Every structure is written in structure tokens, then in C-alpha cells.
Structure 1
Amino acid sequence: MRQDWNYVPLSKACLIKPPKSEARQRLHQSDLVSFVPMSDLGIREKFFSSMEEKPFGKVSGSYTYFADDDVLLAKITPCFENGKLGIARGLVNGVGFGSSEFIVFRPSGELASEFLFYYLSQDGFRDAGQRVMSGAVGHKRVSKEFIENHLIPLPPLAEQKRMVAILDEAFEGIDAAIANTEKNLANAQELLESYLSSVFSRSSQDYPQKPLSDISTFSSGGTPSKRNDTFWCGDIPWVSGRDMKSTQLFDSQLHISVSAVAGSSTRIAPIGSLLILVRGMGLAHGAQVAELMVACAFNQDIKGVHPKSDLVPRYLVFALRHKINSSENILSNAAHGTLKINSEGLKNVLVPIPCIEKQNEIVTAIEALKLGIQHLESIYQRKLLALAELKQSLLQKAFSGALTSEMPDKQQKEAVA
């Protein structure tokens, strides 16, 4: 902490929740204003864009009021922890209304909006707020007392502007590096799908194709009764949609007993079987197909596929992932907006069938590529983490006073000019 800085509660440095009467005094009911739902507020993005306009009279009753240069902060979980905040700029008629879950700060003349934005962007601020959140699970909010009483440094306005200028320049470079890394990460993730497409498009031309129903048998799953405790204390892995995140399944989060299998519609699939997610939001990320490395049971959102002896299960995993993802007839919408795989469409998926040796050769090449992609993804993920940590390090340095105190006088003057 800088000894020459003044530290004041946020309630003293800002007007929190400006009154709607300001807008009522200068706007008619039919005048348009900006409307900002929670989805429009970015994650630690300095300025947000309002995509909607609504008549003042339609939103002035139950929505949160703010104006140009006010700072908005989400107060509800998980938006608060994620860092949803931003500065209002370019509002229609200078006025906006939005989510009731916004906290609105109007900085005093001694506090710059950009300085406040960067201060609220700190992990330390959000961590402190998270510790005192209250409310029902999924609806916890940061407390009014925490916001009002939280101390913020209040250096001279000129120094605030110097800090903002330094952070703007540094964050611009970091954000460019983040965007480039995210692009590389996306390209790495798309590389496997592109390779699968080339492999199986070529295989479809070079080898005979057979419907999945001709080369495998199917089984359905079920959920044992939750009311019977003895059903859920066994040693048999029981797979649900949330376990379908890998192309190989070695275990699951839940286990059931032999009596659960006997007393329900679920069945045990042997090692070498494939599980396909046929219903659920997991399908939004594409086909979820996994080879079983242990015998297990599974729920009704999953279908078991049991390949015949002339098929390498691992080959069929990759073939089905590609075929389902590239088909327009297999995936469709189910009830409540979820996705499902059409049973008849799945049975009729055409799979190219090379000899066993060629299947193993294809699997070896795909696994090698996957390993290389995973290595690249790990590098990019570590870089993204390092860049995020660099941002937080700069913020911590800034609000401890070290950032501007280390600047030569000439550089300070250039920063504020």
C-alpha cells in the first residue's frame, strides 16, 4: 500500500445505484434508451456494446438504471466470480437499463471510471467478495455491505490516468497475444476432425461400406432406483452422459451393485464395447463415442454398440465420431432444447471396413496425431494461463502503487498527455 495514497470505501468514492429520477426528469415515456441484459456485459472487457433499444416507459419500472461513464458489475454467481463488468459508453440518449443483477457505480470527480474498472478486475477483489456471498445455491450474491465498505485507493486523478494509460498499453499487447493463442488452440482442435475427414472419406472410396447394424449389435441402458441404497454401493461402474468426455472409458463417477443390474433395465457392457451418447447437451460438442476398457453399466441416454470380431473397436470409435459429425440426418433436436441421435439413422451409418491390419494402421496414425495435438493444446493452455496471470500481476502492481512510482518523470508526463 502506498502511504501517500488515500483509501476510502467505495460508497464514498462512488454514487452506488444512481436514482432513476435523473432519467425521468429529462426523458419522455416514448424516448428510446439502451437495454443491456447480463449476456451483453463482457468478462473484464472495458466497454460493452448495447444491442437493444427500448422505450423508456417499458424499462424504467423494474430494470436497473445507469448512464454513460457508469461502471457496471454483476453481483450474482457465477457472473461476479467470472468478472463480468464494464463501462457504459455510447448509450442511446445517454441512458441505459438492464439486469436487476447489476451493481452500478458512478465515480465521483476524484475517481476515473477506467481506474475503477481496472480495480474491480482484480482477482483479489472478486475472491474477497466471493467469500461473503450469500443466498441459495446458484443464486448467491455479493453483499451490499461488502461493496459499500470495500476500500479503494484514491491517488490523485493525474496519477490514476497515468496508471490507466500504462495498463491500457500493456493489456492491448497481452490481449493480442491471447487472441493469437486462442486461434492457434482452435486450429489445433480442428486439426483432428480435418484428419478424420480425409482418412474416412478416402476409406469410403477404397473399402466396402456396411451399415452399423450389419457389423454390430446394440443394447440399451437404464437407471437403477434411487430409493434403493443397496443399488448404489456396488463395484460395477455406471456411466452417465457426464462421463462421456473421452474416447476411452476406464471408470465412472458412480458405481452400482449386481442387484441393481438385476432390478433395473440397465445391462453390463463388456470390455471392447462402445458407448454412444444418444441424448443430452453433451451432443452440442459433437458425437460422444467411447471404447470401454472396463465392463460397465450405463444409463438410458446412452446406447451400447458391440462390434463383431472383424472390427477393431478403436477404429470404430473414430469412424463413428466422424460419420455422425458429418451427417445431417442423425443429430436432431429433442424435447427441452436438447439434442438426440436418431436410432434408425445410427443403425444405417455406413462404415468403411478395411482389413484388420489396415484398421490398426489407421488407429495408430490417429493416436499419434492426437498425442501431438494434446501436446500443442497443453502448450497453448499454459500460455493462456500465463497471460492471464501476467494481467493480474500488473493489476496488483498498479494498485500497490509500484507501477507509477517506478516510472521516470518524463515517462509519467508522456503517459498522461
Structure 2
Amino acid sequence: MISVRLRRIAQINPQTSAFDRLGDDAELTFLPMEAVWPGGRIDISQRRTKAAVSTGYTRFQNGDVLVPKITPTFEAARSVLVNDLHGGVGAGTTELHILRPEGDVDGRFLLYVTNTHEFLKLGEAEMYGVAGQKRVPDAFIRDFCVELPDLESQRRIADFLDAETAHIDHFAQANNRLLDRLAERRVAAVINEVSGGEYSRKRESTLAWLNSVPDSWGEVRVGLLARMGSGHTPSRSRPEWWKECTIPWITTGEVQQVRNDRAEEIFQTREKISEVGLRNSAAELHPKGTVVLCRTAASAGYSAVMGTDMATSQDFVTWTCGARLEPFYLLWCLRAMRQDLLGRLAMGSTHKTIYVPDLQALRIPLPPTREEQAEIVRRIRSNNERVDRLMDKVKQQVALLAERRQALITAAVTGQFDVSTASGRGVTE
């Protein structure tokens, strides 16, 4: 083996003359960031004309290794080797570094180099930029040192890793399919509970997201059961309103806490407002137990219960429940109807919004007593706990497979073992 920098064995972010030779109407492969997946999976079905991607896009060709430069896709080992591009050429997101193998370098071996532990960890350490927008610099790629065996050995290592990683990826994909099924089962169980479960006497529901409800239940507009409210942002141009801030203030940043539906309550907020700001704006202090629903942008449809007295921004609508409605029962109704709610009510092409008049018209299935509502919540929590435990175990297996995959690649590429004497799949078992 010889130690060599990447720039000596591959062109880094080179010009693509094959792209320049195309006519403006010629079609080529288009690759947005979301089309590049972990494990080398890639969707090359999208196409654009050369004229449509002549500026503002990264260009590449068959045989190139594409390395995502931005967090968290870089750390997720989402590099790919591209082949079978339409016309042999592609264009895509600018968040890619292009590595074009030269001379006696196997493209598959180069791809595995970009998936080693050292490459990913050192690249992560070299990232620059603000949180959430950090990128791996061009200089790191160029100067990264590779222990390069001869071409025959590169191909032998790549053949071995192709077989072994395919074996690992098969199990990982099976586990991910299981996670999808468990998530579907979790949602279905919630819908089943808020529609009456195993009640024997049912009638057809008038709600679009339910088939039936028990005969003894109502289907009631939420506004008749809870006081609806909203929120506001005190003027940022009045700095005196943003001093001595002590009131928890829910913004879209808090949605991350409840996005997976495991947490029911929000207790902490990233921002707070002051008593002065509250008094001089349309913001309102809502009591503990108030149900909140985000109605804008990518967080639209997500809901939670306030764990203490809080205010919200204008991105939220709130319901303070009366004597007939258990707040956590309302919460699970909102979560059960989320897809229907978004499909019917979320409007706007760029920043979708669920408008207040539509929310004022929301109806839910209503068991006659709060005790019955509380029992439904108890059963939902019990089922969710069982499913979540299973999902956690499966996720742990997926993480272990990813660790094993990277360790195997690192060991093979750096020569920690001779793949010609490795015992095949036994290495991964």
C-alpha cells in the first residue's frame, strides 16, 4: 500500500465537459438531495433539460462518487457511486462534492473510502458554518490521506464489501420495514380507541376520518366543549418588552419535542416572553392542561398539552377544555385525525396553513363521560408503550447494523484484515 492524498487519485469537483457538449433541449438525470439515500441507494429516475439546470446545480457523470457536504447527510454516510445516468450525465443539488476516479483507482473502492470511520469523523470535525448548515470543506476532501493498494486488491476489497454490505443492508431494510409496520399499527390503535374500540353497537360516523362510532357517543364540535384561543408575538421593535422574560412561550421550535407522538406534554420552551410583552400584545397566558395545535408550515398538525401555564406564538391554536372534555382525550383525537386534517385543511403552496375558521369547525367523537375518555387515554398509552418498546429494540438493531457496516468497511479499506482469507458472511455475523 502507498499513502496518497485523494487529490492525487481523483479529480475533486471537476468540470464536466460531457455536460457542456449537450444541447439545451437534451435531457439528463436530475438528482435532488432527497434522492440520495444511505447504503448507496439512489433514485435516478428524475430528469431535467440541460437548459433547466445550466446554472445553480452541480454537474457529474457516470463513474463519479458523490459525497454530500452538508450536515447531517455527510455524517449519515450517504455517498454514492453514480452509473446508468440518462445520457451519462447528471445535475443536482449544490450540496455535493464530486470525486472522479483517475488512473488505477476503482470507483467502488473510492466510494468505500468515503464511508470509512476516519473519513466521516475527520470530515465532521472539519465542518464550518452555523448549526444546521455546516459543510465539509473542499480542502478536507482534497487532502484526505488514503492507504491505496494496487488496482487488483482494490477490486477484490470492493467485491468483498459489495457482498457483505448487501447482506447487512438486507437485514437493515427488513428492520426498517418492520418499523414502518409498527408505526402504522400504533396509529391504527389510536384511531380504533377514539372510535369506540370493540363497542358492539355502532353507527356510521359523520366524520371523514372515522368509519363508525358507538351509538351512545356524540360527534361534537370542539368549540362547544373547549374555549378556543391563539397566540401572538410581542413586537421585536420594543426591546423593553423582551427584558426579564419568565413566561414560557411555545413556538414552532417546540414541535420537535412531540413530533414522534411519544411525548404528550410540553414543559420547557426555548424562548420566553415578559409580563410587559404579554400585557402589550395579543398574547395570552393559557393554563396548564391547555391543548395546542400548530397550524403553519412543516409543523402543521402537530399537537401537545401544556405542562404548565404558557403562552404561544400566532402559529398555534389552543383549546382550554371545559367540564365535558378530557384534554388528553382531545389530544389523541387531534393526533388520530392529523392526516385527514392536513389533507383537507392545510392550504398554501409554500407555507401551508390550517386556517382558524376550519379549526373552529372541527368535530370529534365524544364518549358521554370524562371517566370514559380518561380510560380510553389510559388504553392508548398502554398500547403505545408496548409498541414503542418494540420499536426501540428494532431501532437498536438498525443502529448496530450501521455500526457493523462502517466497521467492516473501515477494516477492509485500511487493510486491517485480508479479504481474500476472510470467511465471507461470517465476518458480519
* TM beyond 0.5: yes
- The alpha carbon displacement at 1:155 in A equals 0.8
Unmatched 5+ residue regions in structure 1?
Answer: 413-417
Q: How many residues align?
A: 401
1:189 to 183, 187, 195: 183
Instruction: Note closer, same or farther for the CA distance 1:200–1:100 as it changes in structure 2 (3 Å cut).
Output: closer
- Is residue 242 from structure 1 mapped to residue 253 from structure 2 by the alignment? yes
Name the structure 1 match of 2:391: 377
1:177 to 158, 162, 171: 171
Q: Secondary structure at the match of 2:404?
A: helix
Partner-residue secondary structure (3-state), 1:378: helix
In structure 2, distance between residues paired with 1:253 and 1:47: 37
Q: Which amino acid aligns with 1:307?
A: C
Q: CA 1:47–1:403 in structure 2 vs 1: closer, same or farther (change >3 Å)?
A: farther
Change beyond 3 A, Cα 1:396–1:270: same
5 Å-filtered alignment, 1:16-415, equals 16-21=12-17, 27=21, 29=23, 32=26, 34-39=28-33, 42-46=36-40, 48-53=42-47, 64-134=58-128, 141-202=135-196, 204-206=213-215, 207-226=217-236, 227-229=238-240, 231-244=242-255, 245=258, 246-283=263-300, 287-327=301-341, 331-334=345-348, 336-404=350-418, 407=421
* Shift of residue 46, structure 1, vs aligned partner: 3.5
Kept in 2: contact 1:65–1:97 (CA 8 A): yes
Instruction: Report if aligned partners of 2:302, 2:335 keep a CA contact under 8 Å in 1.
Output: yes
1:6 aligns with 2:2: yes
State the shift of 1:376 in Å: 1.7
Aligned equivalents of 2:361, 2:55: Cα separation in 1: 55
TM-score by length of 2: 0.82
Could you report, residue by residue, the CA deviation over 1:120-179 in whole angstroms, capped at 9, with x for unpaired residues?
112421332233344677665433332222211111222222211221122112111111
> Residues of 1 paired with 2:390 and 2:143: CA distance?
45
CA displacement 1:59-93 (0-9 Å, x = unmatched): 67775544322222233455444434222212334
SS of the counterpart of 2:421?
coil
**Conservation of the 8 A alpha-carbon contact between 2:333 and 2:364:** no
Distance in 1 separating the partners of 2:74 and 2:172: 22
Q: Which amino acid aligns with 1:240?
A: T
Give yes or no for contact 1:239–1:299 (8 Å, CA) kept in 2: yes
Partner of 2:308: helix, strand, or coil? coil
Structure 2 segments unaligned to the other structure (5+ residues): 198-212, 425-429
Cα drift, residue 335 of structure 1 = 6.4
Alignment match, 1:415: none
- Farther off after superposition, 112-121 or 38-47: 38-47
Amino acid of the residue matched to residue 247 of structure 1?
A: E
The 2-side partners of 1:350 and 1:216 are apart by: 12
Supply the AA of the counterpart residue of 1:7: S
- In structure 2, relative to structure 1, the CA distance for the partners of 1:172 and 1:117 (3 Å cut) is same
Aligned CA-pair RMSD: 3.0
User: Residue 130 of structure 1: SS of its match in structure 2?
Assistant: helix
Structure 1 contact 159–404 (Cα < 8 Å) conserved? no
Q: Counterpart of 2:332 in 1: which secondary structure?
A: helix
**Secondary structure class of the residue paired with 1:51:** coil
Deviation (angstroms), 1:342:
4.5
Does the 8 Å contact 1:270/1:294 carry over to 2? yes
Segment of structure 1 superposing worse, 120-129 or 31-40: 31-40
Q: Deviations over 1:172-215 (max 9, x none)?
A: 12111111111121222222221122223337333123211211
Q: Greater shift after overlay, 50-59 or 303-312?
A: 50-59
CA separation of 1:47/1:323 partners in 2, compared to 1, >3 Å: closer, same or farther?
closer
Give the TM-score, by structure 1 length. 0.84
Range that drifts further, 300-309 or 399-408: 399-408
For the 8 Å contact 1:110–1:154, the answer to whether it is kept is no
Instruction: Identify if the C-alpha distance between structure 1 residues 236 and 97 changes in structure 2 by more than 3 Å, giving closer, same or farther.
Output: closer
Larger Rg, first or second structure (1 or 2):
1
Cα separation, partners in 2 of 1:166 and 1:328, compared to 1, 3 Å: closer
Aligned amino acid, residue 10 of structure 1: L
C-alpha spacing 1:313/1:79, structure 2 compared with 1 (3 Å) = closer
Percent of aligned pairs sharing the same letter: 24
Larger helix fraction of residues: 1
